[in-house]
């Protein structure tokens, strides 16, 4: 069944702030094999002008994913996750995520279209500090394959 286009504009705020730890950044950096000193060495991060170790660019998805998970589990939207393919991903950074950040995230459904029996859903994850400072915006396009 095609997705209900009236869900455009719906938002999914993550209820609790995400506290970014040095250990989580290290774990994520190691998982992609990245050895940049700024991910693990506070002095190296400070030398580049950051208050503490910073996270790899795609770490933002772990925060935005919490909001996306709320959208995916919204039964009234009815996204069949078994049929979902990640189509596009973009990030626009105001600044890198750093250890010690307390982040909020709201996921907004920006667009739903249907074409050729498939649905396309674009959502935007806005990540800010709990003080309201913008940090990163993610834009994701999902393809929901239709019944063949």
Partner 1 sequence: MSTGPVRLRAGTDLPTRTYRVTRLDLVRYAGASGDFNAIHWSDRAATGVGLPGVIAHGMYTMGLAARAVTSWTGDPGGVLEYGVRFTRPVPVPDTDDGTEVVVAGTVKPAERDGCVLLALTVTCHGDRVLAQARAVVRAG
- Nearer to partner 1 by Cβ, of 56 and 146: the residue is 56
Spatial separation of the C-alpha atoms in residues 28 and 144, rounded to whole Å? 28
First to last CA, the chain: 12
d(CA 104, CA 14): 7
- Least distance between partner 1 and beta carbon 16 (Å): 15
C-beta closer to partner 1: residue 5 or 31: 31
Shortest distance (Å) from residue 81 CB to partner 1: 8
Looking up tokens 């869900």 gives 7
The footprint of partner 1 (CB under 8 A) covers 24, 27-28, 30-34, 36, 38-39, 48-50, 54, 56-58, 61-62, 65, 82, 85-93, 95-96, 139
Rounded to a whole number of angstroms, the minimum distance from the CB of residue 6 to partner 1 is 27
Q: What is the DSSP string of 112-145?
A: EEEETTEEEEEEEEEEEETT--EEEEEEEEEEEP
Least Å distance, CB 147 to partner 1, is: 13
Kindly tell me which of 5 and 46 has the beta carbon lying closer to partner 1: 46
Pick the closer one to partner 1 by CB: 5 or 95.
95
| Residues 27, 23: Cα–Cα separation, whole Å | 6
């Amino acid at each position: 069944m095609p997705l209900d286009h009236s869900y455009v504009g719906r938002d999914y705020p993550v209820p609790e702030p995400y506290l970014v730890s040095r250990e989580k950044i290290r774990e994520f950096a190691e998982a992609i094999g990245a050895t940049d000193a700024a991910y693990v060495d506070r002095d190296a991060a400070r030398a580049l002008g950051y208050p503490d170790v910073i996270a790899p660019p795609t770490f933002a998805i772990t925060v935005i994913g919490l909001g996306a998970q709320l959208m995916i589990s919204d039964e009234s939207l009815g996204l069949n996750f078994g049929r979902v393919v990640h189509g596009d991903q973009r990030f626009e950074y105001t600044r890198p995520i750093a250890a010690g950040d307390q982040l909020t995230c709201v996921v907004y459904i920006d667009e739903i279209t249907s074409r050729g029996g498939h649905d396309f859903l674009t959502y935007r994850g806005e990540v800010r500090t709990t003080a309201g400072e913008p940090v990163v915006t993610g834009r994701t396009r999902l393809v929901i394959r239709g019944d063949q």
